[in-house]
Structure 1
Amino acid sequence: MTQPAFQPGDRVVLPPYGIGVVQGTCQRPVGGQEQAYYQVDFANTSSRAYVPVAAPTGAGLRAALTVRDMPALLDTLKSSTLNLPRQWAARHRRVAEILASGDPFELAILTCELRRWNVQRGLPDLDRQALRRAIRLLEQEVSGLLDGEAERVQQLLVTAWNESPQE
């Protein structure tokens, strides 16, 4: 399996930091040997990460969503289902796994399901926090994309953030 090659200026995601931009590559000493690393900077923070060029996916680095991904993401946000456990501890573990993965389509599925639960009966505090965390992660990834579909995704996320249970 070949590793992705990132170029300076590429938008990338590195869980748990979120969306960043590859600034270039650099050499850093590790164990007495020089190793090549991607330098990833994160907007609005002073955070910077160095990810091994030889194994970026091992560190969780992936390309950010693009305009081409927006129709599929919008469909996922509108009509996905997820069979979450009803028992809190098991549900919490599953939700934490999805949030930690940072996979935008899994986050969209989680958002869709928790949104449905919220509208139907309201969410307990920890589930509401998970819903808002998933929305924030998706908003980060969609922000900056100039496209009608991306705008619809952002509008749906704002709606989901502000929804309350039906009476």
Structure 2
Amino acid sequence: MKKFSKGDRVVLPPYGIGVVSGTCTRPVAGTPHAYYQVEFPNTTSRAFVPVDAPMTAGMRPALTGEDMPALLERLQEGQLNLPRQWAARHRKVTEILVSGDPFELATLACELRRWNVERGLPDLDRQAYRRALKLLNQEVHDLNENDAFHVRSLLDTAWNEEHLN
């Protein structure tokens, strides 16, 4: 089980990027339980995630510079066999968006970008595409590594292409 420390950047779907500000103890049904306190930059929002089971809440470490080459590859070359039938595609896309997995999001974004260039996207697919780009951008926004710059550049390009169609 991954232990988090004060100052760690984490992702807590569906809230996005947060920072562990420490731990605290809170009573639940009269029994004290330890929680990570997660603050979300530029908001007054905070979340409390059980120290014993952060993964059950979906909390995971945020991407680092070391993750950027693999993320960039997925954004450029990722392929996803999305169902052509709308209802099945919508289920699959929603599953990926809710998971918050950045590599799956990057693969989805690459596939939807390919669809957008080839034939344009229907409105709900366009919304999913925007959401995937936004989630990825949140995660790489504060990274300063050179590969993070390339990822942000590609995300900006994809976002601007999306608004043209």
TM-score, structure 1 length as denominator? 0.96
Unaligned runs of 5+ in 2: none
Matches within 5 A, 1:100-119: 100-119=98-117
**Alignment match, 1:32:** 30
**Alignment match, 1:86:** 84
Q: Deviations over 1:22-69 (max 9, x none)?
A: 000000001111100000000111110000000000110000000000
- Contact 1:21 1:40 (C-alpha < 8 Å) held by counterparts: yes
Residue identity opposite 1:83 in structure 2: N
**Secondary structure, counterpart of 2:75 in structure 1:** helix
Q: Deviations over 1:47-98 (max 9, x none)?
A: 1000000000011000000000000100110001000000001100100000
1:165 Cα deviation after fit: 10
Matches within 5 A, 1:4-153: 4-153=2-151
**Secondary structure, counterpart of 2:79 in structure 1:** coil
> CA 1:121–1:68 in structure 2 vs 1: closer, same or farther (change >3 Å)?
same
1:164 Cα deviation after fit: 5.3
Give me the CA root mean square deviation: 1.5
Structure 1: how far apart are the matches of 2:118 and 2:164?
Answer: 6
Q: Which runs of 4+ in 1 moved over 6 A?
A: none
Structure 1: how far apart are the matches of 2:3 and 2:31?
Answer: 22
1:159 corresponds to which of 127, 144, 157: 157
Structure 2: how far apart are the matches of 1:84 and 1:93?
Answer: 10
Residue identity opposite 1:12 in structure 2: V
**Secondary structure, counterpart of 1:4 in structure 2:** coil
Unaligned runs of 5+ in 1: none
**Secondary structure, counterpart of 1:77 in structure 2:** helix
- Contact 1:121 1:165 (C-alpha < 8 Å) held by counterparts: no
Q: Deviations over 1:81-118 (max 9, x none)?
A: 00000000110010000000000000000000000000
Structure 2: how far apart are the matches of 1:72 and 1:110?
Answer: 14
